[in-house]
A and B are shown apart, each in its own frame.
Chain A
Amino acid sequence: MEFKDYYKLLGVERDATQDDIKKAYRQLARKFHPDINKEPGAEAKFKEIGEAYEALGDPEKRAAYDQLGKDWKAGQEFRPPPNWDAGFEYSGKPGGTDFSDFFSSIFGSARAERAGRAGRAHTTFHMRGEDHHATIVIDLHDALNGATRTITLRMPELDDDGHVLVRDKNLTVQIPKGVTEGQSIRLKGQGSPGMGDAPAGDLYLEIRFKPDSLYRVEGKNLYLDLPVAPWEAALGASVKMPTPLGPIMLKVPAGSANGRELRVRGRGIPASPPGDLYAVLKIVWPPATDEKARKFYEEMAKELAFDPRAGLGV
């Protein structure tokens, strides 16, 4: 098991006051809270600082942690010395259920509190289980077509003796067609088990999309960059473009400017009602690398009375 430097994780010195520690934790918690920070590593970081604060925020636990000595380095192989914590009494209740092995080896697990709660369940007490919430990252194509995906969730569970076990639970989920980013889907009965005869809670999954190589997403609308030649934009043309339902011919009106958005109704995410697909015109110029192309450009320069900087007043 690896040693964890809780002071370093919170960015404070070993002689920091309890107020300094609280302040440092609060600042980091706001920054890395997974509901606020959408970066992939945020949730892991948030858990780490939560664990660090659980250890250092309580003066009794902090004293015990300090007792290990200051020569340990983060990541170093760690084995607690025998009877090292004799004389310390933790009055605070254990906080999280999925702290690291390192934390559990020093401060014990959340056993005692949970055992009490499980004990009550043996009476004729009926209560619906709690709902669980998690985030799931899917491909845009899963939302366009619907998909079956297997996800792994870390769930704290109680065994028969009331011990808390963190279990990796694999769930195969049918993702419905037409979900959008930020929307949640519900899996009935996949939350905590109910007490007594009461039903289990539900599992809610908030949808996030991986970036797509072709389409960009805004709500249920899709945007696609559509390259066109200057003469297609100037003269109008019918051009082939991909859509989630297969390629179509799109009519580009004559006199289209670069960046013009052309709407293809109903070809966005198939929600109800479905979103739209926008083709964003990107005018692409043929390179003047060969003699023939250069001749055309020279001719345009000579024949067209075109001043692109007419509006600049110079």
Chain B
Amino acid sequence: MTDETIGAIPAETIGTDPIYSLEELSTACGVQTAWVVELVEHGIIEPHGRSASEWRFSSLSVVRLAKAKRFDRDLGINPAGIALVLDLLGEIDRLRARLNVLKDPRVTSTDRPGEHGT
């Protein structure tokens, strides 16, 4: 095992700019184009353009596809299931963030209003 330090690398925020063709996206993620087409049919990733030859994907699609690939490889979930899991995970993330906002960090279990015995 070796160590390697490189100078500071600028990171860019990823956006929805259409940049990859179907072939480029498949190569970047190491998957078959037919599987990418299936994910598009389930609305897991959404390309710009009408026909498969015109499709252009954003770097956001790369991130969603990579997640889909992990669900397929690790848990054996099919595209319909992946679409459902991603929707539900998004909902859980939103609810968690809301819950976190509503939580009062200064109220501890020994000092919660309404819990004092009479």
Contact = CB atoms under 8 A, between A and B. Distances in A.
Contact of A130 (B1, B28, B97, B103): B28
A262 interface: no
Contacts of B12: 176, 185-186, 188
A187 interface: yes
A167 B1 contact: yes
A168 B1 contact: yes
Interface residues of A, number: 50
Interface string A189-208: 01000000000011011100
B11 A187 contact: yes
B84 interface: no
Contacts of A169: 4
Interface residues of B, number: 41
Contacts of B37: none
Tell me the dominant secondary structure on chain A's binding face.
strand
Nearest to B24: A128
Given A167-B2, A170-B6, A35 B89 contact: yes
A181 interface: yes
Contact of B8 (A50, A174, A176, A223): A174
A205 B4 contact: no
B75 A204 contact: no
A231 to B, nearest CB: 21
Interface of A: 26, 29-30, 33, 35-36, 46, 50, 127-128, 130-131, 133, 148, 150, 165-176, 178-179, 181-188, 190, 201-202, 204-206, 216-219, 223, 225, 282
Given A128-B28, A174-B8, A204-B66, 7 more contacts: A26-B76, A36-B85, A183-B13, A186-B11, A201-B28, A217-B100, A218-B97
Interface of B: 1-14, 24, 27-30, 59-60, 62-63, 66-67, 70-71, 74-76, 85, 89, 93, 97-98, 100-101, 103-106
